[in-house]
Amino acid sequence: MEVAGPAAGGFMILWFMIMAASVIFSLAALAFWIWMLVDCLQNEASEGNDKIIWVLVIVLTNWIGALIYYFVRRPQRRQGPRHYHPGSPPL
């Protein structure tokens, strides 16, 4: 069954818009993934296995792992270590 007439033009425009949105989303996800991978490699502490584990999470789960890193680990690292001082209230 072939679509002909004005409906074919509307379908082609819709198809083009969906493809363009897919390409834009894919490029944005790739750029975000690379940014988080570089951020992890450059700024994550090298002691212990934290850096290796986060790199594996980012690489193996792609942009979802980058989102997890961005919302879970990056804010913790940017705040700095929390120190407990005797006599102070718990954090």
Quote the pLDDT of residue 26: 96
Tell me how far CA of residue 47 lies from CA of 50, 52, 56, 72, 79, in angstroms. 7, 10, 16, 19, 18
pLDDT digits (tens, 9 = 90+) for 26-36: 999 999 999 99
In this prediction, residue 11 carries a pLDDT of: 86
pLDDT score of 44: 83
Q: What is the pLDDT of residues 36-81, one digit of tens each?
A: 999 999 988 877 888 999 999 999 999 999 999 999 887 777 776 5
What is the distance, to the nearest Å, from the Cα of residue 47 to the centroid of all Cα atoms in its chain?
24
Q: Which residue has the higher pLDDT, 73 or 5?
A: 73
